[in-house]
Amino acid sequence: MTQVSSPALDLAAIKQRQQAAWSSGNYAVVGTTLQIVGERLAEVAQVRWDEDVLDVAAGNGNASLAAARRGGWVTSTDYVPALLELGRQRADAEQLPMNFQVADAEALPFGNGSFDLVLSTFGVMFTPDHALAADELLRVCRPGGRIAMANWTPEGFIGQMFKVLGRHLPPPAGLTPPSAWGTLPHLQKLFGDEAISIVATPRVFNFRYRSAEHMIEVFRSWYGPVQKAFDALPADRAAQLHEDLAELMHRFDGGGHAEPGRNALVVPSEYLEIVITRR
């Protein structure tokens, strides 16, 4: 196992706070807009009919649904029950047979080698103990199987957004940032010894909102970590966070001024699309 966080960190307490953050608001409001990422990941992971597929930290089920649409027998997991219920409603609407189970990405309740394919889109990257989470992904994936992930990069918009949040509410010293999962060297540290191959391809997802104010309103209302950051700050510092996020969005904006007079903010956010073949 590769040690990637300080042993002095209280990882259990950090996880508890993270779970509270992701349970607040309603991540599905933002998560549903990311559906295309799950579809692309299911394609590059080559989901095959009747394969056993596990989606880890699935949220409201984007990758789960994409794999089920391609004939996989999908188990969708998350540690936020309310998000799993939203995924279940989506699967029921499409008449897709799927299993849903509350599970911690760092302690998956499945046997060794249980799955042909293990997926995660912007989920497992937020675990506090990266090495333990990677070990769990490897453990439940059969030899010769695949682990496929979509992880935000440090340089992309979401990676930079978490840096802005960190300036206002610094994370515990020594905690490896989630965006490290969006870098090939970190993935090689976590998986290299147990991987036949690691294929990592930069991709871009475009967030689309009316304006920076609109995007901040949505994230502040529904995206747990942003909501918690605003709630934790006094009014003057919350106003500064608002200003810093707006500046970041305007800096990344790729389409807001294409048609003067129209409401259009397009924020490209880089992520890494990863397929690991298990040794």
User: 72-118 pLDDT, tens per residue?
Assistant: 999 999 999 999 999 999 999 999 999 999 999 999 999 999 999 99
Residue-level pLDDT at 1: 42
CA-nearest of 175, 181, 111, 186 to 152 is 181
Q: What is the pLDDT of residue 258?
A: 54
**Residue 245 has what pLDDT?**
98
Angle subtended by helix axes 184-191 and 130-140, to nearest 10:
60
Give the pLDDT confidence score for residue 259 in this predicted structure. 60
Q: Maximum Cα–Cα distance for the chain, whole Å? A: 57
Determine the pLDDT at residue 260. Answer: 60
The rounded distance, in Å, linking the Cα atoms of 138 and 75 is: 16
Nearest to 278 by CA among 94, 118, 64, 101: 118
Closest by CA to 150, choosing from 127, 189, 124, is: 124
pLDDT score for 256: 52
For residue 263, the model assigns a pLDDT of: 77
Ranges of residues in the chain whose predicted pLDDT is under 70? 1-7, 255-261
pTM of the model: 0.94
CA 27 – CA 47 distance, rounded (Å): 26
